[in-house]
Chain A
Amino acid sequence: MDRKRRRHIMRTVILTCLAGAIIFALYGNLTKDDKKALAAGDVAPDFLLLDLDGNPYQLEDFRGKGVLLNFWGTYCKPCKDEMPYLNKQYQHYKNEGVEILAVNVGETKIEIENFVKQHKLTFPIIVDHKAEVQTAYNILPLPTTVLIDSEGRIIKYHLGEMDEKTINEYMEMLKP
C-alpha cells in the first residue's frame, strides 16, 4: 500500500512537471508576437526624449500628474484628425494636472515644425528618432495613445483614432 502511494505521488509529480513544461512552451509560443506588449497596471517604462528645441522630457518628472502619451506621425491621417481635439482638451485639463506628451515617431524637424504650426499645437512635442520609446511601448499602428496615471502606471492602451468625447473621458480618468 505504501509503495503504491509513493508510486502514485511520483507519477503525479512527474506528470505535473511535464504538463507545466508543455503549457509553458505553448503559452510562450502563442504570445511570442506580442511578448513585449504592456498591459494596464504595468509600470510605464521611463524614457527621456528631447523636444524640437532640445529640452529634455523625462516621464518620471511627471509623477503626480496624469500623462496622455500620444504616438503620431505627420504622414498618418488619423493622427492629424485627432490633433485639434487633443489641443482643445489640453487647454482645459492642463490646469487640472493632466499633461499631454506627443511623441513623434522620428521625422525631420521641418516636417514636425510645419505640422505644429499648421495645427497650432500647444502641448510638448518630443521626437523618438531611434524608435527606442516606440520599442519600449511596443507601438505598431499609429496613432496609439497610452494613459499613464499620476503614480506612473499604465491605465489604458488606445489603438487608433480617438474622437473628442473619448479624449474627454480619458482626460477625466487621468485627473490625479
Chain B
Amino acid sequence: MNTVKCECGHVNPPGTVLCEACGRVVAEENDDKKLLDMRYEGSARRSTTYNQTIIDKIWNFFSSVKVGISLIVLTLIASIIGTIFPQESNLNQAVDPSVYYPEEYGWFGKVYYLLGFHRLYESWWYMLLVASLGVSLVICSLDRAIPLYKALKNQRVKRHESFLRRQRIYNRQPGVLDEKEILVVKEKLRKKGYHVLEDEGDLLAEKGRFSRWGPYVNHIGLIIFLFGILLRNVPGFYVNEKLWIKEGETRVIPGTDKEYYLENHQFLIEFYDESDGEVFKKALEDKGAIIKNFQADVILYEASEKSLPGETPTLEKIREAEIRINEPLKAGQFSLYLATYDLNIQTLEFSLIKKENNENYGNIRIDLENPEKTYNLGNGYKVDVLGYFPDFDFVDGEPVTKSPNPNNPAFAFKIITPDEPEGEISFVAVQQTIEPLGENDYKLEFQTMDTAYAIGLIVKKDLTIPFIAIGGAIFLIGVAMGSFWQHRRIWIKQEDGDILLAGHTNKNWYGFLREIETITESTVLPNPIDQTEEEESNQTRGE
C-alpha cells in the first residue's frame, strides 16, 4: 500500500479517491465517471488502508457496512424468533418447560425448546450478536467520522476544475468577477446564512456542516444505550427481586443489605358493586366481581445499625405508605411494586366436644406460625399438641409434612379430660379425624379459620435508567441533526476568463438549486444546472 501523490503535489493517504487538497480525482477507477461519489468527501476510509496484522483484520471486518447490516438483520430475525412462543421467564413458574412446549405447541414447540429458543434473549449467542452490533457501530463510526472530520476541516477554497465539473450542480460561462462584484456575492451568501471564504477571487461558501455529524451523534447515543444495558450485570446497578410479606409481618427488602425493612400492615381489596352507580350494572352482571382497588398499607423502616444475617436490628420507622398497582413505594433507590397477593391460613379454631352429649368444653385457637404445646381449658380439660404437620400426608403409614407451608395442616392431639386423665390421642386434619388408639370419648371439632393476605411485591432498582435516557436523547438529537439540517457548499472559481460555479449538498437538491438561483440572479454568475436532470432529459430526448 502506497501513499498517493496528486498532480498538485499533495501527498494523500492510501485509499484516497479525491485529493484532500485540490479535489482532483486520484483513484484510477473514478477517472471516467461524469459525477463524483462525494461520500466521506472521497477521503480514505481508514479500515481499507492497512491489512497486515490480526488486529487489522478484525478491525476491517467490523468496519464493513455490509457486515453491520448483516448483523442487524440477524439480530432482527433472532428477536422475531424469540416472540413466536412465550419465553420461559413469562411462563407460570410451576411448569416444566421441557414438558410445556411440546404439549402446548406440538413438534414445533419441541424443536423450539430443544434449540434453546425458550431462553433466547438470555442465550450467549444472542448476547454476542448484540455485542457484535455494538462493536460494528463503534468501529464503523470511528473509521468514517474521523477522516470525514479531517477532510471537512482541511478544505481549501481553490479546487481543481475537474472536481467542480463533476459536481451534480455545476455551470461554467464566460465572465469576470471584479472585487465589487465579489463583495455583492459574498453579502448575498452571508444573508442566506453561508460562511464564506475567499482565496484570490475564488470563493467557498458553506453552511450546516454540523448536520454531517448527525449519524455519528446518533451512534454515540446508541453506544451509550448499549452500555447502559451492559451495566445491568454490574452488581449494585440493577435489582429485580420478589418479596412476599404476610399481613402483620416485617421483612427485609432484598438488595438493601439489611438496611430497609417493610411491614405489611394490611391489605385491602375492593370490588365494584351497586353503590358505584348504574353505569356498572351491566358489566357486573356480565363479568361478575370486578376488582376496584388493590392496596397494601405498609410501613417502611430503616435499620439503625448494621446487623448480621439472622440478627434482628432495631428498626426506625421512616413512613407509612399505600402501595397500589402502578403506584410503587420509593425507598432510596428502590421501588416496590405491588404485583400479586395470596390468601394464607393463619389460625384454626377447634371446639372440644364430648361425643356422648355434644357438650362444648371450650375452644382452642391455634396459630399455625407458632402452635402452643398445651392449650389449657380449665377444670381439668386440656389439649396437648403432640405433633404438627403443616402440609400433611401419609407416607408408609406415618404422618409427614411435604413442605413447611400450611397447605393442608394436621395435628396430633392428646385430649386430657377429668374422665380420661391419661389422655386420648386424636389425629385431626381438615375434614378428617383419626383415632389411632381406639374410639375416644371426646373429639376436637373444627370451627373456623382465620386467613391473612400475603402481598407479593417486586423490588426494583435500576441505576442504568440515566444511561438509557441520555443515550436515547442523544440518539434523537443525532436524528434531528441529520434530518432537519443540510450541509450545503458552493464553490466559485475563475479560470481562463470563465466563471465556474458548483454546488454540493447531502440532501434536498431541489431546494439547494433554488437557493443558488436566488444568489446568482442579477449577477454575472452562471445559473446553476442540475447535471443529473440534464442527463435524464438528454436520455429522454434520445429515445
**What's the minimum C-beta distance from A62 to chain B, rounded to whole angstroms?**
14
Q: Is the interface of B mostly helix, strand, loop or mixed?
A: mixed
A108:B50 contact, CB within 8 angstroms: no
Nearest-CB residue, chain A, relative to B372:
A110
Bound-state CA distance A109–B373 (Å) is 9
B55:A130 contact, CB within 8 angstroms: no
Q: Which of B46, B142, B404 contacts A106 (CB 8 A)?
A: B404
A75:B391 contact, CB within 8 angstroms: yes
Bound-state CA distance A7–B139 (Å) is 13
B135 within 8 A of A: yes
A165 within 8 A of B: no
Q: Which of A29-37, A83-91, A92-100, A146-154 contacts B (4 or more CB under 8 A)?
A: A29-37
A128: chain B residues within 8 A (beta carbon): 310
B371:A108 contact, CB within 8 angstroms: yes
B128:A22 contact, CB within 8 angstroms: yes
Chain B residues within 8 Å of chain A by Cβ, number? 47
B124:A26 contact, CB within 8 angstroms: yes
A29:B122 contact, CB within 8 angstroms: yes
B233:A47 contact, CB within 8 angstroms: no
Known interface pairs A18-B134, A75-B404, A133-B309; A11-B59 also in contact (CB < 8 Å): yes
**What's the minimum C-beta distance from B124 to chain A, rounded to whole angstroms?**
6
B230:A8 contact, CB within 8 angstroms: no
Known interface pairs A14-B138, A29-B233; A111-B310 also in contact (CB < 8 Å): no
A136: chain B residues within 8 A (beta carbon): 309
B131 within 8 A of A: yes
**What's the minimum C-beta distance from A26 to chain B, rounded to whole angstroms?**
6
Q: Which of B254, B307, B310 contacts A133 (CB 8 A)?
A: B310
Bound-state CA distance A58–B307 (Å) is 12
B127:A8 contact, CB within 8 angstroms: no
A15:B230 contact, CB within 8 angstroms: no
Nearest-CB residue, chain A, relative to B229:
A25
Bound-state CA distance A105–B73 (Å) is 50
B388:A26 contact, CB within 8 angstroms: no
Question: How would residues 298 to 341 of chain B score, 1 for a CB under 8 Å from any chain A CB and 0 otherwise?
Answer: 00000000011111000000000000000000000000000000
B56 within 8 A of A: yes
**What's the minimum C-beta distance from A54 to chain B, rounded to whole angstroms?**
12
A105:B55 contact, CB within 8 angstroms: no
Q: Which of A128-147 contact B (CB under 8 A)?
A: 128, 130, 132-133, 135-136
A24: chain B residues within 8 A (beta carbon): 230, 233
B400:A75 contact, CB within 8 angstroms: yes
Bound-state CA distance A47–B404 (Å) is 23
B402 within 8 A of A: yes
Bound-state CA distance A41–B128 (Å) is 32
Q: Which of B409-437 contact A (CB under 8 A)?
A: none
Chain A residues within 8 Å of chain B by Cβ, number? 42
A64 within 8 A of B: no
B310:A47 contact, CB within 8 angstroms: yes
A46 within 8 A of B: yes
A58:B308 contact, CB within 8 angstroms: yes
A15:B55 contact, CB within 8 angstroms: yes
B252 within 8 A of A: yes
- Among B50, B59, B122, B403: residue with most chain A CB under 10 A: B59
Bound-state CA distance A108–B372 (Å) is 10
Known interface pairs A18-B135, A22-B135, A108-B388; A48-B308 also in contact (CB < 8 Å): yes
- Among B131, B233, B371, B403: residue with most chain A CB under 10 A: B233
B50:A4 contact, CB within 8 angstroms: yes
B309:A45 contact, CB within 8 angstroms: yes
A29:B55 contact, CB within 8 angstroms: no
Bound-state CA distance A12–B251 (Å) is 50
Known interface pairs A18-B135, A25-B127, A110-B388; A47-B311 also in contact (CB < 8 Å): yes
Listed A/B pairs (22) with beta-carbon separation below 8 Å? A8-B55, A14-B139, A21-B131, A22-B134, A26-B131, A32-B233, A47-B308, A47-B309, A73-B404, A75-B400, A105-B404, A107-B390, A108-B370, A108-B388, A110-B387, A114-B386, A128-B310, A130-B252, A132-B252, A132-B258, A132-B309, A135-B254
Besides the contacts A11-B59, A29-B124, what 11 more A-B pairs have beta carbons closer than 8 Å?
A14-B142, A15-B59, A18-B135, A21-B230, A25-B233, A35-B235, A75-B402, A75-B404, A108-B369, A130-B251, A135-B309
Residues of B within 8 A of A (CB): 46, 50, 53, 55-56, 58-59, 122, 124, 127-128, 131, 134-135, 138-139, 142, 227, 230, 233-235, 251-252, 254, 258, 307-311, 368-371, 373, 385-388, 390-391, 400-404
- The 10 A-B residue pairs with the shortest CB-CB distance, nearest first, are A28-B233, A132-B309, A48-B311, A49-B310, A22-B131, A136-B309, A47-B309, A48-B308, A75-B401, A47-B310
